[in-house]
Amino acid sequence: MSGSLVKRRPSWRRRLAENLVSPEIRGKMARISAELGELGVDPFGLDPEAVKFAAVPVEWLYRHYFRVETHGIDNVPQNGRVLLIANHSGQLPFDGMMIGASMIMERDPPRVLRSMVEKWVPRLPFVSVTMARIGQIVGTPDNCRRLLSREEAILVFPEGTRGISKTFDKAYQLERFGTGFMRLALETGTPIVPVAVVGAEEQAPSLYNVKPLAKLFGAPAFPITPTFPLLGPAGLLPLPTRYRIYYGEPMRFQGDGDEEDEVIERQVEDVRAAVQKLIERGLGERKGIFS
């Protein structure tokens, strides 16, 4: 319906891409609800067509590379605002990608998950466009508030770069959680679903974080892993560990978001404990890192 106003040139790339989209994904993407403007994108720049194409490599990673096992996805409500709060690990954010994928692969109708990306992401060429088209937004409180008022599902990693960049000796130990998400949840009356990802820690075990190099490249971390920088850029590829994603029961908190830090921190601690508990469950249930 919308989008037809723009006459795209039928390129060979597009035809190829169309053929790569699995019928299942194509059917599901036709059923997502998005408020599209006259030119086929939503006010934040999300393009369901782009999501469909991005789903091609992501589906492969989900099914065949990380062989993701998802538990309790029905804890995420089908409609209405919700905040998913997850642990963050693995040097590169494949965990966010797989959580987002699970909301499409394992649900029918699917839900497009938005995540709040770091403020430097929009500075990166190509990455900035890709992120915007698949619904990822700069993580400012205003953006989050606005999306929640539009009844969207938002993924937040309250550990931020502290979590994803941590070294392997701290695997599966949660870093300090930021408190911004809790204030927003209280202010907007949004339920919180705790999420744990098990398997991402081992995809790129960081032995040491060379901070001066990270600073030099403007990156959040410069990890030394068994494969990086030894194998060059190829060493950035994650190991094919098996992912397990656990969705906990929705949590609701009382308040208006303007409480003192102490009060908020206690509530954040409850969420952190819930995520930790899901991690423990996942670690207990798995038989091996790759199986």
Contacts to other proteins by CB under 8 A: 5-8, 37-41, 43-45, 119-120, 122-129, 132, 137-138, 140, 142-143, 146
Length of the chain: 291
Q: How far is the CB of 150 from other proteins (least distance, A)?
A: 11
CB nearer to other proteins: give 43 or 109: 43
Q: How far is the CB of 281 from other proteins (least distance, A)?
A: 37
CB nearer to other proteins: give 28 or 183: 183
Q: DSSP letters of 151-220? A: T-EEEE-TTTHHHHT--GGGTT---PPPSHHHHHHHHHT--EEEEEEESSGGGS--SEE-HHHHHHHT-S
CB nearer to other proteins: give 125 or 288: 125
Q: How far is the CB of 220 from other proteins (least distance, A)?
A: 15
Q: Is 85 strand, coil or helix?
A: strand
CB nearer to other proteins: give 184 or 279: 184
Q: How far is the CB of 53 from other proteins (least distance, A)?
A: 15
Give strand pairing partners of 114.
154
CB nearer to other proteins: give 109 or 141: 141
Q: DSSP letters of 46-63? A: --HHHHHHHHHHHHHIII
Q: How far is the CB of 2 from other proteins (least distance, A)?
A: 10
Residue 271, H or E segment? helix 261-285
Please enumerate in sequence order all residues whose Cβ is within 8 A of that of 74, keeping only pairs 6 or more positions apart, or say none: 247
CB nearer to other proteins: give 8 or 211: 8
Identify how many contiguous H helices and E strands the chain contains and give both numbers. 10, 9
Q: How far is the CB of 232 from other proteins (least distance, A)?
A: 23
Question: Cα–Cα distance between 183 and 263 in angstroms, integer?
Answer: 10
Q: How far is the CB of 282 from other proteins (least distance, A)?
A: 34
CB nearer to other proteins: give 142 or 256: 142
Classify residue 207 by burial, with Cβ atoms within 10 Å: 0-12, 13-18, 19+.
exposed
